[in-house]
């Protein structure tokens, strides 16, 4: 079967592609515009690894260009789409909001149109825990309202879920939205905390800790995410004619539509996370405590109930192991000598 993975040079796209490459019956078609949001080298290096496999193909394409994507999907007889390409990052959305409108709204609309015109069997796409915004009802559950995003990034992702619903309803396109909770691990994004903390501690620079360290996150290991996506792709949502329209669950529908949290379901305090990085690096950090940043969510914690009921309980990597795997990768990738 032929699968399109958008954002395949990205962090989650890379791990998801690696996971699906193992399934020999899958032909993967990766696309990415290799933007310069962070160091392109890491994107090219991820692609180098993926291209070693016969069942992985890559083309540099931008999802805002409808015609090019349409022709590529048609030519390669794509049946399934995993849509991960987007402008990610909460803080960047305050500085460059237009990037989010272009990639996350126009790009997403293009993907939906392609699903409609080329009768794609299932669209699995990236949403985010950030959609929970002002919600303080822990753990976050998909059947609760998440209508109060607190920055444009989250607003575009929430919009994706609503846009997907309209297409699932109108054109019977099965769609599954994945609300990822802080994904981390080897080949991770240089703009994210684990990467930045590790880099600065090694370089003996200060690490910036927002909200005076009073944050907690539900950290999700990258390979767990890839594994879950590879299962979800073939769990195609069906129509639910008996869906209760008087007491709406926002994450389900009469249409073939589903929204799921993808998480480890465990809360880790940011300061404990940092302690673990220090332990692995055998170095103390120099901390610069700062106030809460606009647009940041103080705590995240996800309910895993809906996902576990849907695909069975999937084992997840403990954050202490995950940090170790990341730091082992980081040192190898950047050729860091332990004695430094
Ligand atoms: N990493 C996380 O913790 C996390 C959490 C929640 C949601 N997400 C979402 O998961 C998805 C993947 O995130 P990631 O962490 O791998 O980010 P990433 O930035 O590493 O990957 C995204 C990839 O998409 C590409 N891209 C961006 N705009 C594009 C465009 N217009 N056309 C083609 N390619 C484009 C980028 O070049 C990049 O390689 C994103 O949709 C992100 O919003 C990630």
Cis before residue 305, ω within 30 degrees of 0? no
The question of whether 325 is a catalytic residue gets the answer: no
Place of tokens 């007491």: 247
The answer to whether the CB of 35 is under 6 A from ligand 1 is: yes
Query: Which ligand 1 atom is nearest residue 102's CA?
Result: 31
Structure tokens at 168: 């699932």
pTM: 0.98
Tens digits of per-residue pLDDT, 266-282? 999 999 999 999 999 99
Helix (H) or strand (E) holding 44: helix 40-50
- Ligand 1 centroid – CA 7 distance (Å): 6
- 126 CB contacts (<8 Å, ≥6 apart)? 7, 12, 83, 84, 86, 157, 177, 178, 180
The answer to whether the CB of 149 is under 6 A from ligand 1 is: no
- CA 13 to chain centroid, in Å, comes to 8
pLDDT at residue 340 is higher than 60: no
The answer to whether the CB of 198 is under 6 A from ligand 1 is: no
For residue 291, the number of C-alpha atoms closer than 13 Å in the C-beta half-sphere is 2
The answer to whether the CB of 120 is under 6 A from ligand 1 is: no
Pocket test for ligand 1, best of 38, 88, 192, 229 (most atoms within 8 A of CB): 88
Tens digits of per-residue pLDDT, 12-56? 999 999 999 999 899 999 999 999 999 999 999 999 999 999 999
The answer to whether the CB of 161 is under 6 A from ligand 1 is: no
Q: What is the pLDDT of residue 24?
A: 86
Q: Which CATH class is domain 2-184+219-265+301-317?
A: alpha beta
Among protein residues, the one whose CA lies closest to atom 20 of ligand 1: 10
Cα separation, 72 vs 49, in Å, equals 22
Tens digits of per-residue pLDDT, 56-91? 999 999 999 999 999 999 999 999 999 999 999 998
Structure tokens at 6: 């958008």
Q: Active site residue: 38, 80, 125, 153, which one? A: 153
- 31 CB contacts (<8 Å, ≥6 apart)? 4, 5, 6, 7, 8, 58, 59, 60, 61, 63, 69, 72, 85
| Phi, psi torsion values for 65, nearest 5 degrees | -95, 95
């Amino acid at each position: 079967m032929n699968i399109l993975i958008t954002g395949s040079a990205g962090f989650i796209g890379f791990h998801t592609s690696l996971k699906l490459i193992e399934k020999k019956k899958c032909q993967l078609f990766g696309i990415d515009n290799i933007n310069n949001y962070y160091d392109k080298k890491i994107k090219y290096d991820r692609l180098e690894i993926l291209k070693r496999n016969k069942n992985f193909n890559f083309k540099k394409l931008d999802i805002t260009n409808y015609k090019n994507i349409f022709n590529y999907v048609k030519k390669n007889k794509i049946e399934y789409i995993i849509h991960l390409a987007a402008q990610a990052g909460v803080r960047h959305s305050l500085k460059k909001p237009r990037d989010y409108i272009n990639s996350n709204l126009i790009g997403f609309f293009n993907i939906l149109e392609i699903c409609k015109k080329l009768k794609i069997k299932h669209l699995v796409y990236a949403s985010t825990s950030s959609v929970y915004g002002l919600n303080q009802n822990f753990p976050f559950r998909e059947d609760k309202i998440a209508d109060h995003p607190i920055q444009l990034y989250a607003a575009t992702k929430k919009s994706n879920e609503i846009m997907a619903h309209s297409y699932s309803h109108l054109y019977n396109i099965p769609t599954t939205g994945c609300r990822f909770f802080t994904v981390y691990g080897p080949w991770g994004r240089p703009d994210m905390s684990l990467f930045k903390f590790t880099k600065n501690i090694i370089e003996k620079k200060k690490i910036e800790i927002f909200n005076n360290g009073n944050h907690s996150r539900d950290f999700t290991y990258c390979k767990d995410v890839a594994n879950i996506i590879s299962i979800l792709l073939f769990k195609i949502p069906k129509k639910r004619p008996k869906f209760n329209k008087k007491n709406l669950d926002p994450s389900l529908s009469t249409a073939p539509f589903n929204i799921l949290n993808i998480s480890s379901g465990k809360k880790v305090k940011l300061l404990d996370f940092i302690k673990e990085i220090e332990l692995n690096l055998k170095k103390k950090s120099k901390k610069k405590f700062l106030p809460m940043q606009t647009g940041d969510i103080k705590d995240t914690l996800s309910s895993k109930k809906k996902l576990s009921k849907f695909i069975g309980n999937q084992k997840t990597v403990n954050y202490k192991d995950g940090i170790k795997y990341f730091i082992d990768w980081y040192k190898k990738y950047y050729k860091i000598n332990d004695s430094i």
